Structure 1
Amino acid sequence: MTPGIISGLHTFGSRVNFNPHVHMLVTMGGLTKKGEWKQYDYLPFEMLRKQWQTVVLKFIRRGVSEKEKKRIQPRLQQAFHNNGKGFYVHAPKQEGNVKEQLRYIGRYIRRPAIGLNRIEAYDGQKVTFTYHDKTGGKEKRETISVEEFISRLIRHIPDEQFKTIRHYGMYSRRCKGLSKKVLCQWQQKAKRWIVKAKKTMRRQTWRERIVSSGKRDPLICEKCQCYYEYKGEVCLENGRLEIKVALCTTTRAYLERVIHHFTSIETPKKGKKKKKKWPNQNRASTLFV
């Protein structure tokens, strides 16, 4: 049986300290080899903790050299014996409003190391912020220098192209088609049209992401409320304007005239050409009509 798993990596704790851990959303069920959905209501937490401990220690051994492995082997054995019940796994069964839980988890799994609402004071030298102390269950404050605060933050910036959220099992790309089919069959059988399967399984466009964040529609004109239609764009490359996209011959002809207009601007003094000033030098100029 193949479940659906969405995992998110967090490298920070409540004090913006280095505390790497993984949050996971796991379906209470999965797909059988025949492509049928099978549901379950029980997770053996004790077995899950021991399995998690075994996998973590095994990956640590696999990722180091033989010399390094001999050096850290006593510490790995100590970590195994000191945690007889396995490494910590918090896996509560969620109940209540599903949509509200998904909205909360979606914000939580992509949250930054610290929110602006937690920063209480900054005087140019010190930063004061609040955090939740899990050992005592109380809200506390901590004041540190600006340099220390910045050093705590930048350690949590992921490398370029590093994915902090990953999908496994029936949520992976190779199983997306089958998952969509099973979801449609379940909706027809249960007569519960919570969401459209087609909309659920595809990625949002840049326009949909902007609108869903609460901002105005970028393709609606603020003055006339008319709808913009994407036709093409021009980019600045090696000091020259180049047409990157032109969806029709009319668009290409218009963009060529625009490029010619900007490149033919001259100053009347001494017959010298006016220094070229491209609009939005570091961005692509996009044509909407």
Structure 2
Amino acid sequence: MTELTRLSRSNSVEEVIAVLERDGGVIIDGFLAPETLAGLKSDLIPRMQGQSTGRDPFSGDKTRRMGALFAHTRHVAEVVTDPLYLAAARHILSKPVLTWAGDNRYETSPDVRIGVTQAIQIGPGQGAQPLHRDDTVFLWRHPTYGREARVQVMLALSDFTAENGGTLVIPGSHRWDDERQPLTSEAIPTEMTAGSALIFLGSTYHAGGQNRTQDELRTGLTIALDAANLRQEENMYLALPTAVVASYPEEIQRLLGWSAGANNMGWVEIDGQMADPIRLLRDLDGPVVGLSASR
């Protein structure tokens, strides 16, 4: 395979799912509305200038990273709730499980939660990141036999090219076992215009590419949706002030982890009962000073 499959806004969720299950990754051209892209760039790129670069080959000594994105821009909500992304992630991650409780056998399944939010800016002269799987954080074993841990989006805030560090992807590597080593010769650079997105599985080998340009920054925004029975990689409860979470719609609050879900993971005691933590946010809803109110 010499290039990643490309779809557009006119394609259905079912088509996105089919390519993800076949290849492990898909590019969606024109993923974002122009005004959303402009808002993200306006909110995030100036803040990136104050971020320090990484200190090891994996994080990149010429690469800036910034997390806690829901505290920096309201526009990120439009990325994570985009139907082509969220619906595809729920289909892939929320696989039902049959279990017994006494004499009753019932079906339950995890919802999805936001596991990581990060803006990533690769500077000129940055070498390629080591190829890796992002579900390694869960010590996930492969092949996954149809049960994935993560579906991730990498949104281009600037154009991604083979020269400036467009994300490297090995199509089909989501089917590999854990003994097979990924090779750079097998990886394909993601080339897409600003506002387009790469959606890929946590079991797919990928890496930040080498930036061989003299003066071009490659800026992307990544969000991971994970199965809600797993711990979130980014600690949202410490990264985001409770008042910030409360200022978002309930769907976002639940995606950020303020939900027990059908499998009752993450409950909190309220009035002596195991309760959904969303109840703790109900009285805090309102605007937050210092956080862009644009949507």
| TM-score of Structure 1 vs Structure 2, range by shorter chain | under 0.3
Report which structure shows greater RCO (CA 8 Å, sep ≥6). 2
Structure ranking higher in helix proportion: 1
Which structure's CA Rg is the greater one? Answer: 1
The normalised TM-score by structure 2 is: 0.18
